Amino acid sequence: MKNCIAAVITLCIVMQVNDALDFEKTRTAYSAKIFGFSWENCGKPDDPAVLKTLTLSPDPITVPGDLTASASGNTTVELAAPLAVNVTLEKEVAGFWVTVPCLEEIGSCHYTDGCDLLNQLIPPGQDCPEPLHTYGIPCHCPFKAGMYTLPESDFYLPDIELPYWLTNGDYRVQGVLGAMGKELGCLKITLSVHSNN
């Protein structure tokens, strides 16, 4: 939602969380604090989709709780379906980074079309949620080439339910956006999760 690539990657991660709700055996109530959120572009120098700025506060982020975010980014090419998204989720275990496999569409998963995921989260024809609607930021493909800016905005992070195996620890998530065999952008996020349960 912060820009084209961030929108697709972030919504893929959200989609993973939503999918977890369908599996009763792996559900657990979730209340946590997220510490040390950081991000970086991890793509090639000539990748067309790049996140320029992203700030989140407070630190730690409380779930459920209030979040303030601002961001900007740009793409030099139109992003249209199908947009492949490869998500790699890693957890630090005993000083080593271990890849979390793709389980029930959560973890290190490949999505053949991020545009389809956006359509599942926000049905076509429905207005984009706030504050995207107010600032004219699209939430469906295609995303035209250009600059996208989300001014400082307030959000509420609701209660969520996650798989039991997504426990306390240090995580890093990398999302790579591509089309027709070419990388369009890459975003890496690191954070620490401390559950209150």
**b/e string for 121-138 if b means 16 or more Cβ within 10 A?**
bbeeeeebeebbeeeebb
What CA–CA distance (Å, rounded) separates 105 from 117?
12
* Domains held by the chain: number: 1
Q: What pLDDT sits at residue 158?
A: 87
Q: What's the CATH number where 166 sits? A: 2.70.220.10
pLDDT in tens, 142-186: 999 999 999 999 999 888 777 777 778 999 999 999 999 899 999
Q: How many CB atoms lie within 10 A of CB 59?
A: 10
The rounded mean pLDDT for the chain is 84
Decide if pLDDT at 43 tops 70: yes
Cα distances from 138 to residues 20, 58, 150, 178, 194, in angstroms, run 26, 26, 11, 19, 33
pLDDT in tens, 103-129: 888 899 999 999 999 999 999 989 999
CA angle 161, 166, 170 (to 5 degrees): 125
| Percent of the chain at pLDDT exceeding 90 | 65
Q: What pLDDT sits at residue 4?
A: 45
| Percent of the chain at pLDDT exceeding 70 | 82
In this predicted model, which residue has the larger pLDDT, 186 or 4? 186
CA dihedral 43, 154, 114, 136 (to 10 degrees): -100
For residue 122, the enclosing domain spans 4-195
DSSP label of 25: G
pLDDT in tens, 50-75: 999 999 999 999 989 999 999 999 99
In this predicted model, which residue has the larger pLDDT, 81 or 16? 81
Tracing tokens 């989709």 back to the chain, one arrives at: 49
Q: What pLDDT sits at residue 53?
A: 96
What CA–CA distance (Å, rounded) separates 194 from 175?
23
Decide if pLDDT at 197 tops 80: no
Closest to 153 measured CA to CA, from 62, 38, 72, 32 = 72
In this predicted model, which residue has the larger pLDDT, 140 or 27? 140
Contacts for 181 with CB less than 8 Å, ≥ 6 apart: none
